[in-house]
Chain A
């Protein structure tokens, strides 16, 4: 039983937040709350949960561009990126991903870091960040700061390299001269939908291909075998030629409420193949 069930902690600084998390490992950190409110309990104590409300932490706000790195504070919303002309010019993949998350009402509240921590394999922001080689920065009161590449962040369904006392404080991306950026999400409609299949791709001379896929495995998947195939051989004659690389990458979709395994397997290969045309 969580001793603080039914409470919401509202820290004003990151240090206060980390102290609260150290004191109570059951605290659930919440930023925009757009996933949480789909099943928001009317009476908190009935759910025996306690939340850490991050929405007042000004230290988590802000986007900075330096010569080498772009930093998104963990409080950065999808809307913050959509409105920032620097992303339109340099990383339209993130703007395109952000515009598919729910609709404007969700984009103004939902955060990129929350998308990472919610760990849904159907996330829209996560594959786009993964295709940009994002690094997750975490902090805890006990151990200070650590970093984990987003591509290595997930261990299994909703399992991630975040300890209960750790808070995501920011996300960093290397600045690159991408010559190719691509985001695609297949859903039942264009807005207010969750991905049946999602694909994010980038290419730069220095980094080669980066491909991340959503809704085809228990986690958002970086497709390293497919990247290597494209780096070595380029676009094949048929989308079927991606099959062995995608299997080796762990693409193993399931039938669920949104789609079928057969559809997802077929469509992910076709999306990537057509994107390269």
Chain B
């Protein structure tokens, strides 16, 4: 990828920006109340930042966040992981999809502090640039995107579907991906990518639209 040859890639710039914002927010709240879990009683958190540890793509990541922060904002702003997209921020579009203990989850609809102790898998955790996830390879081969903004969420949703249902029918694919909206309307190519990633033959637009 050409990004790698530049002095500072766009991705690492965004990451640096994210970390800086987090650090700034921390200093600003240095005097704020900080309450954690009490031993043997009901933990009361907030307002005020709180240290948490999230297990993201197999790594423990220590962060300090406001308890009201969604998992999505925590990933993007505090952890600098911008693969999960913030589009609707209200559970309607699927752009922020991640796996939480294997379950497909809208990260904009979950508090980061509720994800403590869980295995979180983001799109960054699916495959590497050298060895893509079969879903990612199939998306590329089928040109299953136009603008690409919904793609990370769709790749994660497709991975979740195939983990549970290794050879899904077209109906099962539609159902499994129904929480992910592609405004460019590349659904036929998306479905065909998932069919290929599960070793199945492609379908036509007419078959997709039949019901």
Contacts of A6 in B (CB 8 A): 46-47, 68
Contacts of A33 in B (CB 8 A): 109-111
A255 interfacial contact with B, CB 8 Å: no
**In the complex where A34-B91, A44-B68, A55-B114 touch, is A105 in contact with B97 (Cβ < 8 A)?**
yes
Q: Which of B41, B70, B104, B114 contacts A40 (CB 8 A)?
A: B70
Contacts of A190 in B (CB 8 A): 178
Asked if residues A37 and B108 are in contact (CB atoms below 8 Å), the reply is: yes
**In the complex where A10-B37, A99-B175 touch, is A106 in contact with B42 (Cβ < 8 A)?**
no
B103 interfacial contact with A, CB 8 Å: yes
Contacts of A34 in B (CB 8 A): 91, 109
Asked if residues B44 and A4 are in contact (CB atoms below 8 Å), the reply is: yes
Interface core residue of A12, A55, A79, A108 (most chain B CB under 10 Å): A108
Asked if residues B178 and A8 are in contact (CB atoms below 8 Å), the reply is: no
We find that the number of chain A residues with CB closer than 8 angstroms to chain B is 38
Asked if residues B47 and A105 are in contact (CB atoms below 8 Å), the reply is: no
* CA distance in complex: A53, B67 (Å): 11
Contacts of B104 in A (CB 8 A): 104-105, 108
Contacts of B67 in A (CB 8 A): 7-8, 44
Return the chain A residue nearest B115 by Cβ: A55
**In the complex where A37-B109, A109-B110 touch, is A8 in contact with B45 (Cβ < 8 A)?**
yes
**Residues 96-151 of B contacting A (Cβ, < 8 Å):** 97, 100, 103-106, 108-111, 113-114
Contacts of A38 in B (CB 8 A): 90-91
Contacts of B111 in A (CB 8 A): 8, 33, 53
Contacts of A241 in B (CB 8 A): none
Chain B residues with CB under 8 Å of chain A are: 37, 41-47, 66-68, 70, 90-92, 94, 97, 100, 103-106, 108-111, 113-114, 157, 160, 175-176, 178-181
Question: Would you mind naming 11 contact pairs between A and B with Cβ atoms under 8 Å apart?
Answer: A8-B67, A8-B113, A10-B44, A10-B45, A12-B43, A34-B109, A39-B90, A40-B109, A104-B104, A105-B91, A106-B109
